[in-house]
């Protein structure tokens, strides 16, 4: 009797899966094979796709080799002009405009290796998109499709005439015919869609597949506002006699924020140096070392207050000793009891001279129940690259605890915070100290006018100022910012600094990535 036939040697494993970072080089090579003469993806584009919408990026793998792929993002399509271009809808290929709450999937690329066509690879990729659209309860899938055979007929047919002939099956087009067979219907024809698509004479067909299982989600579909209330504490530095006295003042302001139903309470930079007023240490470097001994007390206090009063607290900043070095660290105390921290990255000459402060090296963006935020301590807001990096990572609000001793120093922080709000289309918040500590070396005088800033456009506060304190007095301001307005203005504002960046001639490279 013959041996049982081993079927495994005949098997060829082909499956559709999500793209991973390790696939990027192979995807770039695949695109060069699929679209000779057109500019292929760069690594930074594909990395951005995975960072913003990993589950929307698919590839077809056969025997360990990637033979096809497709890319997409989510949008609310009614926020875009009907005559948009590929660069408009993809943010120049980076999809940083991906909207997790969008109800349309927009397909921006499908490709199949020339040697593996006629194997229904494209169909399988399209089905993966449709399955994802159903799972995410999306209204439709929209694509801007090439018409690569149009150049053969351009002298005798207008684009609409060519498309009509393909629709009637009188002419075959490898892309449009395929899309029609996969259930897509024609919406319109867009000129100048993809500048290097000469085969299509730069035209594209805007096509849509409707998800018949779509269930309208009222909360998402009619979302008109996402308000976030911020309470900024302009804190008075004055002589105290104990940590308990400090804690009493901090709790009072947290209670004020809670009574106002604030989502965030924001304290100033190194306002814990008020503790030095009773430490009786005249040498600044030694006083800082003694101050770091209160780190655990400080963290326990703010963690308890955030939970007790149900408010997220930007706990100003505090000097912390780690590994024999002293850092200026801002903490985020979430109202669910979790804690995050951001090191100050740029240290002023004054901090180095008097206190020997070391610098951090990472830009953080934190998830909160009010969206993504960043913290950039005082001097850090004066470096525009940091705010841009945070914005690209999804931050909608940048909190800047600061401590300045004169008007000139304060205005540097203020003007830069306002500039960051405009150029990144985000909200910025500055919180500073006032008063004086006459017996504390290097903390004897303070100057501040704390504020909440918005981008400068019609839907935002006049002059781009949501609210501001009176200069140099102890007080709070409470203001509302709207993340939904921010999102809409990034798409359709008078100016769109994020969308209009010339990534073809400049970029910011964050080395920690």
Enumerate the active-site residues. Answer: 269, 344, 378
Smallest Cα–Cα separation from 326: which of 301, 286, 355?
355
Query: Residue 370: CB partners within 8 Å, gap ≥ 6?
Result: 228, 263, 264, 312, 397, 483
First to last CA, the chain: 61
Contact call for residues 437 and 238 (beta carbons, < 8 A):
yes
Secondary structure of 381-436 in the HEC alphabet? HHCHHHHHHHHHCCCCEEEEEECECCHHHHHHHHHHHHHHHHHHCCEEEEEEEEEC
**Burial category of 234 from C-beta neighbours within 10 Å (exposed 0-12, middle 13-18, buried 19 and up):** buried
HSE toward the beta carbon, residue 420, CA cutoff 13 A:
34
Contact in structure between 260 and 308 (CB atoms under 8 Å): no
Cα 209 to Cα 78, 185, 197, 200: the distances in Å are 16, 7, 23, 22
Burial of 115 (0-12, 13-18, 19+ CB in 10 A): exposed
Element (H, E) at 292: helix 284-292
CB 456 within 8 A of CB 427: no
Maximum CA pair distance of the chain? 101
Residue count of the chain, please give it. 513
- DSSP letter, residue 4: P
* Cα 43 from Cα 463, distance rounded (Å): 40
């Amino acid at each position: 009797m013959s041996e049982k036939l081993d079927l495994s040697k005949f098997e060829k494993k082909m499956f559709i899966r999500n793209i991973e970072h390790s696939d990027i080089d192979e995807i770039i090579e695949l695109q060069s094979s699929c679209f000779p003469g057109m500019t292929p993806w760069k690594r930074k584009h594909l990395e951005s796709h995975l960072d913003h919408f990993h589950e929307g990026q698919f590839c077809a793998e056969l025997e360990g080799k990637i033979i096809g792929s497709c890319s997409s993002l989510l949008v609310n399509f009614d926020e875009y002009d009907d005559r948009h271009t590929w660069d408009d809808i993809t943010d120049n290929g980076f999809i940083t405009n991906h909207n997790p709450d969008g109800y349309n999937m927009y397909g921006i690329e499908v490709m199949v290796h020339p040697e593996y066509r006629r194997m229904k690879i494209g169909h399988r990729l399209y089905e993966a998109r449709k399955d994802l659209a159903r799972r995410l309860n999306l209204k439709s899938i929209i694509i801007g499709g090439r018409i690569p055979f149009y150049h053969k007929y351009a002298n005798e047919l207008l684009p609409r005439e060519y498309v009509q002939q393909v629709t009637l099956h009188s002419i075959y087009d490898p892309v449009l015919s395929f899309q029609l067979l996969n259930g897509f219907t024609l919406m319109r024809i867009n000129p100048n869609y993809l500048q290097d698509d000469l085969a299509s004479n730069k035209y594209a067909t805007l096509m849509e597949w409707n998800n018949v299982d779509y269930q309208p989600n009222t909360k998402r579909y009619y979302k008109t506002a996402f308000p976030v209330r911020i309470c900024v504490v302009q804190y008075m530095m004055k002589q105290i006699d104990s940590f308990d006295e400090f804690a009493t003042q901090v709790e009072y302001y947290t209670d004020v924020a809670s009574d106002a139903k604030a989502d965030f309470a924001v304290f100033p930079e190194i306002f814990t140096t008020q503790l030095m007023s009773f430490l009786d240490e005249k040498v600044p470097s030694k006083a800082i070392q003694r101050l770091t001994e209160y780190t655990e007390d400080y963290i326990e206090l703010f963690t308890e207050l955030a939970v007790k009063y149900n408010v997220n607290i930007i706990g100003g900043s505090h000097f912390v000793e780690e590994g024999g070095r002293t850092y200026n660290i801002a903490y985020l105390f979430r109202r669910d009891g979790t804690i995050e921290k951001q090191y100050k990255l740029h240290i002023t000459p004054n901090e180095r001279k008097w206190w020997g402060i070391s610098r951090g090296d990472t830009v953080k963006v934190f998830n909160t129940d009010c969206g993504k935020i960043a913290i950039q301590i005082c001097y850090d807001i004066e470096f525009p690259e940091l705010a841009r990096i945070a914005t690209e990572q999804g931050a909608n609000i940048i909190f800047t605890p600061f401590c300045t001793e004169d008007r000139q120093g304060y205005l540097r922080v203020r003007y830069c915070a306002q500039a960051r709000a405009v150029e990144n289309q985000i909200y910025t918040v500055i919180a500073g100290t006032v008063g004086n500590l006459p017996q504390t070396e290097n903390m004897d005088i303070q100057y501040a006018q704390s504020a909440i800033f918005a981008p400068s456009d019609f839907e935002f506060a006049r002059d781009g100022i949501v609210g501001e304190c009176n200069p140099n007095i102890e007080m709070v301001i409470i203001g509302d910012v709207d993340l939904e307005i921010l999102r809409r203005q990034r798409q359709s504002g008078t100016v769109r600094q994020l969308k209009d960046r010339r990534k073809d001639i400049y970029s910011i490279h964050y080395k920690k990535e």
